[in-house]
Amino acid sequence: MIREKVKIGIPGLDEMLDGGLIPGRPYLISGTPGTGKTMVAMRFLLEGAMRGEDVLFVSLDEPPNELKADFKSLGWDISKIRVFDATPDVLSYDKTPVRDVSTERRVSYFGEIRDAIRRTSEKGPTDMSVNTVQELLKQEMKIRKYTRIVVDSITSLKHFFIKTSEEYATVQSFFRLMSDLGITSILTVDLPEVAKEEAEAHQARGEIRLHKWFDGKGLQRGVTIEKYRGSSHEQRMRLLKITDEGVVVKTSEQPKPKEEGKATKGCVAPTVVADAKKEAKEEEAKPEPAKDKPDTHPKPVLSEAHNEPAPAKKKEEHVAKAPAPETPKPEPSAQNGGHSI
Amino acid sequence: MSPDVLRLATGIPGLDDMLKGGLIPGRPYVVSGTAGSGKTTLAIQFLQQGVRRGERALFVSIDEPPSEVRENVRSLGWDVGKIRILDVHPSAKAYSKKVSMVEVAAQRAVGSLMDARPDAKAEAMKLVSPDLSAQSLQLMLRQELMETRYSRVVIDSMTSLKRLSETQGDIDNTLLSLLRFLSESNVTSLIVTDVPDPTKLEIESFICRGEIRLHRLMLSNRIERCITVEKFRGSAHDTLPRPLEISAAGLIVDSRKKLSKMALRMLQAVPSGAR
């Protein structure tokens, strides 16, 4: 471990990351729409804000007023998180002069965001591009020493701000900027239901993937660490829940073997079934270690988010992969569900 | 904790239960499903609910000529006279005399669903009208919204709109702009789409604030329908699939019932995108 890791603030997930993210590097949170990416990303910023750090949310997807309302109804106080509204304006299709965005929009606290949606100026839309977002980040870093940044989402950045032919190079330069700035950053990625490798997956130093699927009990959610450079990490999927208070990932407790086997057969991440063969292998391998020790789980897993740590589990890491060293013994009972404010 | 935000009822009580009260006003939502799964019916019910409460509701008809929409809805026994309809159903294409974009709005009539009938004059107008695209639709809606304050708008369907806009380039930005325009106008919009190609990320499914999906499951001896809430920003929602019926009174959702074992297994077996 290089420096002290940056905590996301979801105990189960930090545990999967062997303590958190390595500071100063860009990471991805990926998943199909509705898996909870924005929520995990916001939790990461909130963790920083609660520690008194300067944190920034760059919103390309949702107007900040909606984010503010949504997180307020969750009971999260995100007012001390700064936000930059990079959502594109309504296009005018007239020949109005394009206006420079830096004069029109600035970073503010979520607490200062008005309840109504920002209206496109009568003078016409402002010009948003990757360059403007990058320039803005550079300027902001001169003013404040941000420690955490979220860009939600890199998918919108690609769809709305980048020409397809320049996509790879632009995404690359964006990641370069992120690491140059030395900020721990999370970029969210919307995946189609059958995913293929995208430019950003190569660039990021790590990828947290969120999954959802149906089983006999209804919608299930899970989280995997797809990649994590320079750190050991959990190899298997853990269940994730979005509750009234936010995101909960189990600590040191695996899904019941039976459940996981079934889920794999059914459709854990349809991704696997279709083309991603490499992933398919990993997925197949998953339930096996769990089957060896079917008795380690006295409780029905799906009903309980706060299980006791089961230290025996740690020996079951994949040998083929980077051998994961002992996960530091978590104190989950104290921290569990500790995302509430 | 704040009191719950204001909700907009969809007009389908069981679905409102699944959505914990309804949709959040002023945001765009997607209704997806295969052909014949009940998307348009759901959309009309959503508009009908608005009209019942004295709101203005607009149906943008791209897939079907309005006269057919009217007939279909009539056969359900509803009085849809108050729902307004923007007829942008593309008719035979004219290859000469293209009119500039700005004039489009003047060409396409907004009428109440009541008097939707094949109109010789309107048909003639269409022959000279330009292609429909997300761009021209936004301009038409801008004009329409200046005159009438709509609170609910349905676009049926986005799948067609995208196909029609393909020649225009930069569809992503124009679609985003269209939805943003509706949001800025305080309109709650329901975007009807086909089931997305699971290998592709359809733009509407990641820029919308929620997605309601209708499923039609072929079981060995019957067809079973069900409905799921795939995504709903800013709100808790029912995560279970619920049985759906299409009756004479429209869509009926029982939010307390569970799906039959067989149907549930079917739903699991199909990758979610192809359901």
- Tens-digit pLDDT profile for residues A156-168: 888 888 776 677 8
How many C-beta neighbours within 10 Å does residue A319 have? 9
pLDDT at B73 over 80: no
Task: State whether A93 and B101 contact (CB < 8 Å).
Answer: yes
> In terms of domains, do A138 and A38 share one?
yes
Region of poorest pLDDT, from A41-50, A183-192, A331-340, B68-77: A331-340
Task: State whether B268 and A91 contact (CB < 8 Å).
Answer: no
User: What pLDDT, on a 0 to 100 scale, did the predictor assign at position A97?
Assistant: 65
Structural domain contains residue A110: yes
User: What pLDDT, on a 0 to 100 scale, did the predictor assign at position B112?
Assistant: 62
Beta pairing, strands A26-31 & A184-190: parallel
pLDDT band at B2 (very low <50, low <70, confident <90, very high): very low
Mean pLDDT of B119-123: 48
> In terms of domains, do A227 and A122 share one?
no
Judged by DSSP in three states, A154 sits in helix
How many C-beta neighbours within 10 Å does residue A168 have? 16
Structural domain contains residue A9: no
How many C-beta neighbours within 10 Å does residue A303 have? 7
> In terms of domains, do A31 and A85 share one?
yes
User: What pLDDT, on a 0 to 100 scale, did the predictor assign at position A121?
Assistant: 82
Radius of gyration of chain B (CA): 19
Alpha carbon separation from B47 to B10, B59, B82, B85, B246 (Å, rounded)? 8, 8, 9, 11, 17
At which of A204, A233, A264 does a domain end?
A204
> In terms of domains, do A51 and A110 share one?
yes
Task: State whether A244 and B234 contact (CB < 8 Å).
Answer: no
Domains of chain B: 13-214 (3.40.50.300)
CB of A227 closer than 8 Å to CB of A242: no
> In terms of domains, do A27 and A165 share one?
yes
The C-alpha atoms of residue A215 and residue A264 are separated, in whole angstroms, by 10
Q: For A193, which of B181, B235, B273 is closest by C-beta distance? A: B273
CB of A189 closer than 8 Å to CB of A195: no
The sign one gets for the Cα dihedral A277, A279, A285, A291 is negative
The mean of the pLDDT values for chain A is 74
pLDDT in tens, A211-244: 988 777 777 899 999 999 989 999 999 999 988 7
The C-alpha atoms of residue A107 and residue B148 are separated, in whole angstroms, by 35
User: What pLDDT, on a 0 to 100 scale, did the predictor assign at position B111?
Assistant: 63
> In terms of domains, do A155 and A289 share one?
no
List Cβ neighbours of B215 (8 Å cut-off, separation of 6 or more).
Answer: B33, B34, B37, B225, B226, B227, B228, B241, B244, B267, B275
pLDDT in tens, A34-78: 889 999 999 999 999 999 999 999 999 899 999 999 998 888 899
Region of poorest pLDDT, from A37-41, B7-11, B144-148, B208-212: B144-148
Look at residues A264, A252, A227 and name the one whose alpha carbon lies nearest to residue A304.
A252
User: What pLDDT, on a 0 to 100 scale, did the predictor assign at position B8?
Assistant: 93
List Cβ neighbours of B270 (8 Å cut-off, separation of 6 or more).
Answer: none
Of residues A308 and A226, more confidence is placed in A226
A119 neighbourhood in chain B, CB within 8 Å? 184
Structural domain contains residue A18: no
Which residues numbered 146-185 in B keep a CB inside 8 Å of some CB on A?
172-174, 176-177, 180-181, 183-184
Which domain CATH number covers A146?
3.40.50.300
Mean pLDDT of B49-59: 90
CB of B128 closer than 8 Å to CB of B158: no
Considering only alpha carbons, which residue of chain B is nearest residue A221? Answer: B239
> In terms of domains, do A200 and A220 share one?
no
Chain A residues contacting B, CB < 8 Å?
32-34, 38, 61-63, 66, 69-70, 72-73, 75, 87-91, 93, 117, 119-120, 153, 155-156, 159-160, 190-194, 196, 213-216, 218-219, 244, 266-267, 270, 273-274
What angle, 0 to 180 degrees and rounded to 10, lies between the N-to-C axes of helices A130-143 and A154-161?
130
Considering only alpha carbons, which residue of chain A is nearest residue B134? Answer: A91
Structural domain contains residue A300: yes
DSSP letter at A62 equals S
Would the pTM of this model clear 0.90, i.e. be above it? no
User: What pLDDT, on a 0 to 100 scale, did the predictor assign at position A169?
Assistant: 82
Task: State whether B198 and A159 contact (CB < 8 Å).
Answer: no
User: What pLDDT, on a 0 to 100 scale, did the predictor assign at position B167?
Assistant: 67
pLDDT at A210 over 50: yes
The percent helix, strand, coil of chain B (3-state, each to 5) is: 40, 20, 40
The mean of the pLDDT values for chain B is 79
pLDDT at A6 over 80: yes
Alpha carbon separation from A34 to A9, A53, A214, A224, B236 (Å, rounded)? 20, 28, 14, 16, 11
> In terms of domains, do A132 and A218 share one?
no
CB of A244 closer than 8 Å to CB of A36: no
Task: State whether A267 and B269 contact (CB < 8 Å).
Answer: yes
pLDDT in tens, B190-201: 999 988 777 777
Task: State whether A70 and B183 contact (CB < 8 Å).
Answer: no
User: What pLDDT, on a 0 to 100 scale, did the predictor assign at position B108?
Assistant: 53
At which of A187, A204, A221 does a domain end?
A204
> In terms of domains, do A165 and A223 share one?
no
Q: Which residues of B174-187 are buried (b: 16+ CB within 10 A; e: fewer)?
A: bbbbbbbbbbbbeb
The C-alpha atoms of residue A340 and residue A76 are separated, in whole angstroms, by 7
Structural domain contains residue A295: yes
B103 touching chain A per CB within 8 A: no
Q: For B2, which of A73, A117, A194 is closest by C-beta distance? A: A73
pLDDT in tens, A107-140: 889 988 888 888 888 877 887 778 888 888 888 8
Task: State whether B211 and A34 contact (CB < 8 Å).
Answer: yes
> In terms of domains, do A228 and A170 share one?
no
Task: State whether B198 and A70 contact (CB < 8 Å).
Answer: no
Mean pLDDT of B145-154: 91
DSSP letter at A21 equals B
pLDDT in tens, B78-95: 766 788 888 777 664 444
A215 neighbourhood in chain B, CB within 8 Å? 268
CB of B105 closer than 8 Å to CB of B78: no
Region of poorest pLDDT, from A294-308, B37-51, B52-66, B144-158: A294-308
Judged by DSSP in three states, B220 sits in coil
Q: Is the ipTM of this complex over 0.90?
A: no
Biggest alpha carbon–alpha carbon distance for chain B: 60
Of residues B29 and A255, more confidence is placed in B29
Structural domain for A233, as ranges: 210-341
The C-alpha atoms of residue A174 and residue B247 are separated, in whole angstroms, by 53
CB of A200 closer than 8 Å to CB of A171: yes
Nearest CA to CA, how far is A75 from chain B (Å)? 5
Domain count, chain A: 2
pLDDT at A305 over 90: no
Look up residue B147 and give its two tokens. Answer: 């005159």
> In terms of domains, do A101 and A165 share one?
yes
At which of A167, A188, A204 does a domain end?
A204
Of residues A328 and A171, more confidence is placed in A171
Structural domain contains residue A232: yes
Q: How many CA atoms lie within 13 A of B266 on its CB side?
A: 18
pLDDT in tens, B256-271: 988 888 888 777 765 4
Stated as kind and residue range, the H or E segment containing A264 is helix A257-266
Look up residue A303 and give its two tokens. Answer: 């009903």
pLDDT at B216 over 60: yes
Structural domain contains residue A186: yes
> In terms of domains, do A136 and A226 share one?
no
Structural domain contains residue A11: no
Mean pLDDT of B239-244: 91
Biggest alpha carbon–alpha carbon distance for chain A: 70
Q: For B173, which of A91, A190, A267 is closest by C-beta distance? A: A91
Judged by DSSP in three states, A145 sits in coil
